[in-house]
Amino acid sequence: MDQKTLPVDAPSAETLAKDGLRLTLVDTADAPLFHAWLQADMRGFHGPTFDEKTLTEWAVGIADRRTTGVYDDSSAEP
């Protein structure tokens, strides 16, 4: 079974949904989406802003991992 296709943890998703948040898998095959997630992840942990070359290197290095994201759909896009 491919870990990347398993659904997110339902109890966690339900708990987050009560606070208006959405837990979902990040599509690591969608480069623009994955790059945006990487930038947001770094920003959220006070990391640097990556240039496109670095984003691509990071994406290639972790694309095979199961990646989840928590989104606040009511917030403005950066």
For 5-63, the pLDDT digits (tens) are 789 999 999 999 999 999 999 998 899 999 999 998 898 899 999 999 999 998 998 88
Residue 22 forms beta bridges with which residues?
A: 71
Q: What is the pLDDT of residues 9-23, one digit of tens each?
A: 999 999 999 999 999
Q: Is the dihedral of CA 10, 25, 17, 38 positive or negative?
A: positive
* pLDDT number for residue 63: 86
Higher-pLDDT residue of 1 and 67 is 67
Q: Please, are residues 38 and 28 in contact by the beta-carbon 8 Å criterion?
A: no
* pLDDT number for residue 78: 55
